[in-house]
Structure 1
């Protein structure tokens, strides 16, 4: 009797599509390789997906040596996965670019061979380099920038420390963009906005008596529902936004890449701002917390001192490098100072002026 059992192919496909080589062949500068007819060359086909899935058979949660089902209390999510040899497909597998994996029932050796093949694939350097540039510097890097970082990847055998050094020290990252450049730069995703706010105002937090760190903002701890993003809680393997997401141009044409803007719509624009104000401005204090708080407490004492002294220009200048990345134009600075002057004329307190300034910065 033939048992029709085949390994699940989802992870094998995702490993290639999302985390290493992508869907089509790329040049070092991330441009697409095409065939004689001008069509993109695929990086893999269904046969490769099936072979990759076979390479990954046998791996399971540590502590589970009987089957692939989750066992409450028996498994440890914090430890590396383990392989059960009898559940590993020990036949030869031919994956992309003709690489043959034939390590028998040694699943660790098979996995190492597969990872080596992925890391040295010509696509991996530009595929990963471009996304790292998008996260750290700009959503629309030039092909030359991607090419230089890809070269650093290849030269260092994928050493991430050297790759990041190449990203951050590249001339395209270090040269300030011109005032007319509307393409350079990137949007801060909501979680980064929140942590930037906490870092800017020396946020402090005391855990509960049982030592657990538990945030509760207006009765909610689920940032996915309010901030449209939460730490390590993406709704799918595609994460919260795609690297190729674009902002449409005014004339309907395809616009520039703006991955983080995929999070925003009519509803989330309001909920994200409200959550940032609640988690940030709603926890302003002039002193450090003495007991457990539902959220980190932000220290506004220096900013409050400037407000009480009526130094509105100093207030704006103090938050410019913290929340604007020193990218505050002369006109915007003047508008913020004017707003603070008018609030003071209305007898608004220093704390109210601090809150209003930070809310506008967000």
Structure 2
């Protein structure tokens, strides 16, 4: 096959579609069929068909496969969620250690390999008999990595590949745990300590012109927990005079900055004294993998504020029911006790539930959840049914089994859904087509060059896109957001289409010039099916669009594929497979996950 002809299908298909449209007497619908999807069934009773299963997996995994659809149909939603939460966890750090044991240097490319193992699943290159299937945990960890951001683009952590992988493992470890434990693990991880400069943050020293760094204090509040404005229980902003009420001011930021002082490597205690400046991260960087520990001499035990009695304190969050009097943390605590009090102060703030619920819903299900949906999930965060606050496992189940998640496409057809993240389009293709490399590994180029995304590689602590981003135009006019469109610039869209085309047309099993390191899709699996274009389109409608392909698109795809025959292309079946994949993956209908 000539390379110049690998993308000819786009132009040809567009021409065929226009021709069919011009001759059609009745314009077919551009919406999916609503029949049998009115949502009268009990939400957690399904899935009732393969399409429902595929749609659930689009939200709960890195992409549906035929095997996963069958397993979900067998277990049901509740059974599948329970099984997923009990599966052994895929650990990036274990993979990096195996790579190092082969004598290879461990750089960022090895970390990306480890991420692909979790995203695609399947046999472990180190132990082929070990199968990785913890899709839900890994998908939630990816969502958390876009909230609790660290990035290889920061010089503070870019060289610490093992620490970054362990940070991601930490997110996966806590994906179904308690948010309070996750918040503490994030706070004390050396990768986060370096990324947001809490590491070696010192108490004030006016003579040396030293003041506590406020970086982590701001981000833990703004991005990791409560946001900038007071929220109602359903995530809508509280207003006063028509304006949102702020959650905190500079005094609170300063108070938390003074709390987050005195933390250093684990091994800074030497004999009977503390070595603040010159203690090291340990042999082979061992303490990049251990939570930071406090050094008492460098923690501010007082606070920057004083009350009417002259007592010093650190001003934390003040809200109804706050445990600390007026949110004040008075002098006399240690670095560890102050940290515990401060994280508890954040954890019990009423904003945390709706703030986190909305962001996780956006990452997994829909960009514009209704307030009722946010409120239901936030209520589970507040109480998992057993009196426990912050149970993330219960929150994830509530998100995926909510009526809006399962039937929102039909109850809110013009608002429901989310633009697919660029990187997740590639994971979806590779999982659906059983992609593997000949050597069983997952070597890849840096995905951010073609997809503007890669794991732990966002351009800033604000992630690849902001949760409230609303592109100018119709969406903004309707008060809707589309976070992922913030990175869908014209150049990125072109690069993504080309990269997907390269994978489809050139990165497949049987390609003569591929070597054992290339990740190849198994398009051969579907070549027999391609004898019948309608059956092939039906298969890909299920795997990629969860059975939601419109009659308009289906009619045009089938008509175009029928023009690819043995008379025009020797390997016409394979060509039909590749053209179908490429056109579907770049179609507007696929671009929005419904």
The TM-score range, normalised by the shorter chain, is 0.7 to 0.9
In the TM superposition, residue 301 of structure 1 has moved relative to its aligned partner by: 2.5
In the TM superposition, residue 206 of structure 1 has moved relative to its aligned partner by: 5.0
Distance 1:85 1:280, change over 3 A: farther
Which residue matches 1:359?
582
Native 8 Å contact 1:243 1:259 kept in 2: yes
Distance 1:201 1:102, change over 3 A: farther
Counterpart-to-counterpart distance in 2, 1:170 and 1:347: 49
Once the two structures are overlaid, the 10-residue window that deviates more, 226-235 or 297-306, is 297-306
Residue 337 of structure 2 corresponds to residue 113 of structure 1? no
Distance 1:111 1:176, change over 3 A: same
Q: Structure 1 unaligned runs (5+)? A: 216-220
Of 487, 497, 502 in structure 2, the residue corresponding to residue 273 of structure 1 is 497
Native 8 Å contact 2:504 2:582 kept in 1: no
Counterpart-to-counterpart distance in 2, 1:83 and 1:58: 5
Counterpart-to-counterpart distance in 2, 1:214 and 1:241: 26
What SS does the aligned partner of 1:93 have?
strand
Of 188, 192, 197 in structure 1, the residue corresponding to residue 424 of structure 2 is 192
Which residue matches 1:230?
454
Map 1:209-358 onto structure 2 (within 5 A).
Answer: 213-215=442-444, 221-250=445-474, 253=477, 255-285=479-509, 292-294=516-518, 296-307=519-530, 310-344=531-565, 347-348=568-569, 349-358=572-581
In the TM superposition, residue 109 of structure 1 has moved relative to its aligned partner by: 2.5
Q: Give the alignment's Cα RMSD to 1 decimal.
A: 2.7
Map 1:79-90 onto structure 2 (within 5 A).
Answer: 79-90=290-301
Counterpart-to-counterpart distance in 2, 1:26 and 1:252: 21
Distance 1:102 1:325, change over 3 A: farther
Q: Structure 2 unaligned runs (5+)? A: 1-205, 269-274, 303-312, 319-325, 586-594
Native 8 Å contact 1:281 1:358 kept in 2: no
Query: Which structure has the higher relative contact order (CA within 8 Å, separation 6+)?
Result: 2
In the TM superposition, residue 293 of structure 1 has moved relative to its aligned partner by: 1.3
Native 8 Å contact 1:248 1:256 kept in 2: no
Native 8 Å contact 1:88 1:105 kept in 2: no
Native 8 Å contact 2:443 2:517 kept in 1: no
Counterpart-to-counterpart distance in 1, 2:504 and 2:523: 11
Which residue matches 1:66?
276
Residue 264 of structure 2 corresponds to residue 52 of structure 1? no
In the TM superposition, residue 199 of structure 1 has moved relative to its aligned partner by: 0.9
Residue 217 of structure 2 corresponds to residue 12 of structure 1? yes
Which residue matches 1:23?
228
Counterpart-to-counterpart distance in 2, 1:180 and 1:345: 45
Native 8 Å contact 1:25 1:40 kept in 2: yes
Distance 1:179 1:85, change over 3 A: closer
Structure 1 residues 151-170: Cα deviation after superposition (integer angstroms, max 9, x where no partner): 11111301011111111111
Which residue matches 1:137?
365
Counterpart-to-counterpart distance in 1, 2:404 and 2:255: 40
> How many aligned residue pairs are there?
349
Structure 1 residues 167-194: Cα deviation after superposition (integer angstroms, max 9, x where no partner): 1111111115239822111111011111
Once the two structures are overlaid, the 10-residue window that deviates more, 86-95 or 314-323, is 86-95
Distance 1:62 1:315, change over 3 A: farther
Structure 1 residues 88-115: Cα deviation after superposition (integer angstroms, max 9, x where no partner): 2222422110323358463233222222
Counterpart-to-counterpart distance in 1, 2:264 and 2:503: 38
Map 1:108-187 onto structure 2 (within 5 A).
Answer: 108-156=336-384, 157-175=389-407, 177-178=409-410, 181-187=413-419
What SS does the aligned partner of 1:338 have?
helix
Runs of 4+ in 1 over 6 A off after TM superposition: 68-72
Structure 1 residues 274-304: Cα deviation after superposition (integer angstroms, max 9, x where no partner): 12233454321159xx97313x221122211
Native 8 Å contact 2:267 2:280 kept in 1: no
Native 8 Å contact 1:85 1:105 kept in 2: no
What SS does the aligned partner of 1:315 have?
helix
Which residue matches 2:57?
none
In the TM superposition, residue 272 of structure 1 has moved relative to its aligned partner by: 1.5
